[in-house]
């Protein structure tokens, strides 16, 4: 079979790279005392809009960690962290980040400042609490938590929303003390309005993948677009980026251009990617001209394709709502099953790939049950594979390739025999 490689290389790809490098440059300036105040946060359910009220910049340790991994630089800091006692099986994002502090490494070679505030937005992932606590212990930076109630029911209660809103006000007060700046409600409201617009555009982009063929890969290419979503969505640059992205991808869709010359399979992928082997992993799907049409990982920073938008008329409440209910990590496991089911049905997928990552129990604990649900209950062809999102040692290339090949062979066989009997 001919070797297929695929990577979306439109103008938005380069543009996002430039934007992310601009962000790192701003952090470098901040480290030198010339840039904005900085607030370290987690990706999931981040409240970047609030930071705009202080003209502060976010630091995302997860982005730093994944940048290290995709550049094949994660093992050295991971080993440095293990040297001081971190367990081999614990989250490698944390270990890579801690190792960077120990070794003085950054993904770009520039400096990353000690945050003005370490703001642990506790959104589902319990590891976040440990991670930020350890960074605070190491750096001496002040630490604050926004405790976000987990989604125990279909919708958050009034008490849940009120609890988060009150904590957000406490964050504002703390940031005023730490930065010496007065919180600008107007800027905050404008940021929330920008987010709403970025989210609308992002949602439209996601829905383009419902077309056959899909004009982009909603896992591998979506990851390209996710950086600006976290860093810039609350700013006019973010809106402009997503407008350009929508325009470019809509043109592809209208021209009937897919990711491959012929789209053979349509997939939903669950779980984060193996960043240290990103290219290799992608090529395993490219070989079969299999395009991802939807993914849960691309909803870590926000679940926007089902209608939620920030609301400038109720900025605090809508930020709270985003943190509680509108990101995949703070939603319960069965809500994730339902999300994937909707993708399979409405994005017309042939199957589901479940990627278990050793580092992330939030994503991965129970994915065997998820497979059981999709295969036995819904009859959806499902493949379960294991590796890691950060640690390059946990990737069995030949075994993973064999399993993926076998999966597509069986899907192809099923399609062929169904065509023969006229199903």
Partner 1 sequence: MDKVLERCTDLVQDIGFAQVRAWKQQHPGRAAVAYFPVYAPVEIIHAAGMLPVCVSGAGDRLDVQYADARFGSFICSIIKTTTELALTGHLDPFDAFLFSSICDSARNLCWVLKRNFPDKYHDFIHLPQNPSSGATAEFLAAEYRRVMAELGGMSGRLIRDDDIAESIALYNRSRELIRELYRVRTHTPHRLAAWESYVLVRAGNFLPVEEHIAILEQALAWLPQRSCKSRDSIRIVVEGSFCEQPPLELIRLIEEAGCYIVEDDFTLGQRWFESDVATNGDPVQALAEAYVAQSVYSSVRHDFRKPRWDGLADKIRDTQADAVLFLIAKFCEPAYFDYVPFKQTVEAMCIPHLLLEFEEKLFTFDRVRTEVETFVESLVFD
Q: Closest separation between CB of residue 165 and partner 1, Å?
A: 9
CA distances 170 to 22, 131, 174, 193, 383, Å, are 30, 22, 6, 22, 45
Contact in structure between 23 and 51 (CB atoms under 8 Å): no
Strand residue runs (E) in 66-151? 117-122, 143-147
Distance CA 78, CA 96 (A): 5
Q: What is the largest CA-CA distance in the chain?
A: 73
* SS3 state of residue 315: helix
**Site residues for partner 1 per CB under 8 A:** 84-87, 89-91, 94, 122, 124-127, 129-130, 133-134, 136-137, 143-147, 149-150, 152, 157, 159-160, 162-163, 166-167, 170, 332-334, 337, 356, 358, 360-362, 364-369, 372-373, 384, 386
Q: Closest separation between CB of residue 346 and partner 1, Å?
A: 22
Contact in structure between 35 and 24 (CB atoms under 8 Å): no
DSSP lists the bridge partners of residue 38 as 57
Tally of CB atoms within 10 A around 73: 17
Q: Closest separation between CB of residue 406 and partner 1, Å?
A: 18
Q: Closest separation between CB of residue 344 and partner 1, Å?
A: 17
Q: Closest separation between CB of residue 40 and partner 1, Å?
A: 14
Q: Is the Cα dihedral 243, 245, 248, 254 positive or negative?
A: negative
Q: Closest separation between CB of residue 80 and partner 1, Å?
A: 12
């Amino acid at each position: 079979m001919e070797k297929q490689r695929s990577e979306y290389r439109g103008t938005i790809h380069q543009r996002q790279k430039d934007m992310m490098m601009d962000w790192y440059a701003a952090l470098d300036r901040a480290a030198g005392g010339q840039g904005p105040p900085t607030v370290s946060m987690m990706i999931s359910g981040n409240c970047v809009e609030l930071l705009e009220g202080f003209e502060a910049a976010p630091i995302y340790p997860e982005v730093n960690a994944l940048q290290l991994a995709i550049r094949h630089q994660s093992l050295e800091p991971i080993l440095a962290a293990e040297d001081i006692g971190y367990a081999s099986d614990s989250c490698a994002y944390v270990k890579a980040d801690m190792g960077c502090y120990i070794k003085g490494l950054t993904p770009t070679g520039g400096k990353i400042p000690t945050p003005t505030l370490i703001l642990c937005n506790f959104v589902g992932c319990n590891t976040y609490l440990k991670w930020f606590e350890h960074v605070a212990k190491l750096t001496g930076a002040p630490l604050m938590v926004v405790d976000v109630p987990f989604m125990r029911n279909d919708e958050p209660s009034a008490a849940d929303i009120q609890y988060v809103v009150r904590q957000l006000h406490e964050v504002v007060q703390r940031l005023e003390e730490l930065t010496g700046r007065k919180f600008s409600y107007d800027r905050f409201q404008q940021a929330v309005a920008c987010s709403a617009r970025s989210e609308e555009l992002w949602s439209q982009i996601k829905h383009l993948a419902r077309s056959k063929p899909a004009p982009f890969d909603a896992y591998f290419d979506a990851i390209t677009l996710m950086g600006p979503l976290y860093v810039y969505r609350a700013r006019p640059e973010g809106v402009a980026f997503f407008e350009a992205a929508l325009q470019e991808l809509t043109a592809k869709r209208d021209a009937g251009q897919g990711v491959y010359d012929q789209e053979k399979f349509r997939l939903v992928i669950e779980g984060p990617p193996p960043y240290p082997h990103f290219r290799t992993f992608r090529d395993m799907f490219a070989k079969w001209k299999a395009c991802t049409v939807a993914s849960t990982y691309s909803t870590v920073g926000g679940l926007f394709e089902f209608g939620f938008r920030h609301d400038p008329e109720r900025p605090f409440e809508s930020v709270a709502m985003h943190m509680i209910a509108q990101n995949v990590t703070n939603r319960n496991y069965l809500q994730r099953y339902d999300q994937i089911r909707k993708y399979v049905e409405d994005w017309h997928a042939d199957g589901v790939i479940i990627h278990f990552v050793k580092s992330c129990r939030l994503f991965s604990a129970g994915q065997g049950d998820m497979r059981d649900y999709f295969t036995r209950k819904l009859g959806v062809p499902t493949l379960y594979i294991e590796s890691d999102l950060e640690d390059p040692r946990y990737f069995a290339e030949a075994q993973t390739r064999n399993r993926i090949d076998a999966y597509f062979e069986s899907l192809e066989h099923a399609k062929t025999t169904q065509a023969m009997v006229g199903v």
